[in-house]
Amino acid sequence: MRSLKLGMVGGGPGAGIGPAHRRAARLDGHFELVAGAFSRDASRNRAMAEELGIAPDRVYADFATMASAEARRPDGIECVSIVTPNDTHSAASLAFIERGIDVICDKPMATSLADAIAVEKAAATRGVVFALTHNYSAYPMVAQARHLVRAGELGTIRIVAVEYAMGGRYRLVEAEGDAKMAWRVDSAIAGPSTVLGDIGTHAHHLLRTITGLEIESLSAELTTIVSGRTADDNALVNLRFRGGARGHMWACMAAPGNGHGLRIRVFGDQASLHWDHDKPDELAVRAENSPYVTQRRGEPYLGDEAKHASRTKAGNPAGYFEAFANVYADAAEAIRARREGRPCNPLARSFGTAHDGVLGMRFIEAAVDSHRRGGAWVDAMVDALVQRC
């Protein structure tokens, strides 16, 4: 099976998420990285290209040059990974979409709802694949959680509790030389809410992925708990879902000692499920008056989606890069299906869609609005329906 020719925008020396994208792209052998605009700094750009074995004539000063040059090459890239800070996501996506190059883009999709919608529309018009790397939703047991919810194992969902409360930015690290935080506290780059754009959107996508619920309205309090910080770093968001279920999200960048801190619990009228990113291979399913049950990745009793997303048997722990690689593997399938004019494998859905990205921006803007209005409940609905693959 031929590898897909991949380009990359961002991910220069010292970048945060670039290496994860590259490992994810490599793990299953679906992609070959052949072009890049890794850094705006020319020497850093060249250095990274050399480390990666990219031919010098395919190293570009910026995404626009790269998009037009690669589109002209007979052996040009078929797809691109966009792993820059947030403010470039939508513009870079548009540049490649317009040239029919499939896009894999880090989250959030944009820094405004309007920009996100523009990308969604362009991708739909051009018919290209747009895959948003909500890698935390791509674990096999998240797929299993979705499966159980849809199979009715929990009954009707009543309550969802999701949290993504990490500790890494518990000090004013942006003043101590943490370059990855420095741009995150600049709203011109990060968007209207730092904590929601950076991690809240992951929690939002995770809860939507598992429950399929649509947020009807929300009440949010966005606060800055680290003194001196110029952006929010803590969010408490109460949620009302269409149909009456209630939920709560806590997103925080400054909870020292809470580890990575991504966790979701879904309570139905029959049973509940519990997934913790610290133990991603496990999914607890619990009902009253019954023994506690833990389902495990790699087991024969799982649903097809969880099996599709797994590479090895239970007991050999799967981790972060494998979930990330699921996004790439499923994107590869979607890209190949499009290019081969055949239907995509319906199990290949571990990436976020353009519409997921739009909903993420809608969520952020509604939360910011609620906060500005003293925590008032504000509408958070989006008319269009979610479409995937």
In the complex, the smallest distance separating the C-beta of residue 247 from a second copy, rounded to whole angstroms, is 9
Give the amino acid at 152: G
Cα diameter, the chain: 66
What phi and psi, each to the nearest 5 degrees, are found at residue 106?
A: -70, 160
Select the span of 86-94, 104-112, 117-125, 220-228 touching a second copy (CB under 8 A).
220-228
| Residue 199, CA distances (Å) to 249, 260, 378 in order | 11, 10, 21
Residue 300 interacts with a second copy (CB under 8 A): yes or no: yes
Number of C-beta neighbours around residue 96 at 10 A: 30
Residue 47 interacts with a second copy (CB under 8 A): yes or no: no
* Span 256-295, contacts to a second copy by CB under 8 A: 256-261, 265, 267-272, 274, 277-280, 284-295
Please, which residue, 187 or 258, has the CB nearer to a second copy? 258
* Span 366-385, contacts to a second copy by CB under 8 A: 374-375, 377
In the complex, the smallest distance separating the C-beta of residue 114 from a second copy, rounded to whole angstroms, is 29
Select from 315, 372, 373, 379 the one that contacts a second copy (CB under 8 A). 315
In the complex, the smallest distance separating the C-beta of residue 6 from a second copy, rounded to whole angstroms, is 13
Residue 19 interacts with a second copy (CB under 8 A): yes or no: yes
Beta bridge partners of 79: 6, 102
| Residue 50, CA distances (Å) to 44, 224, 266, 327 in order | 10, 41, 47, 26
Residue 217 interacts with a second copy (CB under 8 A): yes or no: no
Select from 320, 345, 369, 386 the one that contacts a second copy (CB under 8 A). 320
In the complex, the smallest distance separating the C-beta of residue 126 from a second copy, rounded to whole angstroms, is 29
* Span 49-108, contacts to a second copy by CB under 8 A: 50-53
58-67: b or e for each residue (b if 16 or more CB lie within 10 Å)?
A: bbbeebeebb
Residue 204 interacts with a second copy (CB under 8 A): yes or no: no
Cα–Cα dist 378/345, whole Å: 38
In the complex, the smallest distance separating the C-beta of residue 227 from a second copy, rounded to whole angstroms, is 8
Please, which residue, 113 or 329, has the CB nearer to a second copy? 329
Burial grade of 163 (CB within 10 A; 0-12, 13-18, 19 or more) = buried
Tokens standing for residue 343: 């239907």
Binding-site size for a second copy (CB under 8 A) equals: 86
The size of the chain, in residues, is 389
Cα–Cα dist 34/5, whole Å: 6
Select from 184, 204, 229, 296 the one that contacts a second copy (CB under 8 A). 296
In the complex, the smallest distance separating the C-beta of residue 70 from a second copy, rounded to whole angstroms, is 21
Give the amino acid at 188: A
Please, which residue, 291 or 343, has the CB nearer to a second copy? 291
* Span 334-363, contacts to a second copy by CB under 8 A: none
User: CA torsion, points 189, 195, 199, 205, in degrees to nearest 10?
Assistant: -100
What phi and psi, each to the nearest 5 degrees, are found at residue 89?
A: -55, -50
* Span 162-181, contacts to a second copy by CB under 8 A: 166-168, 170-171
Residue 301 interacts with a second copy (CB under 8 A): yes or no: yes
Cα–Cα dist 97/93, whole Å: 6
Cα–Cα dist 146/269, whole Å: 16
Please, which residue, 97 or 161, has the CB nearer to a second copy? 161
Select from 225, 347, 382, 386 the one that contacts a second copy (CB under 8 A). 225
